[in-house]
Amino acid sequence: MWLLMLVLFSGPMNVERVDILEIHWSKKNCEDATKHAEAVGLPIDSTVGCVYLKEVKRVENSES
């Protein structure tokens, strides 16, 4: 699973916010979405990229 993420910076090396824009099942689709987002235009002091998640599992809540 690939996450298309937008990172907004509030200063040098300071992250203000991280947003997950889209979820993709292939690296190519996520990279294409990255190129599209860059072509449309990104907010000032931000970057967009793909992050791979190897496994997604449900965590049992032991406090129930």
The distance in angstroms from the start CA to the end CA of the chain is 29
Both tokens assigned to 27: 């690296």
Q: Which 3 state secondary structure label does DSSP give 26?
A: coil
**CB neighbours of 18 closer than 8 A, spacing ≥ 6?**
5, 6, 7, 8
Q: What is the mean pLDDT of each run of 10 residues along the chain (64 residues)?
A: 95 92 95 96 94 79 60
Q: What is the pLDDT of residue 13?
A: 84
pTM for the model = 0.78
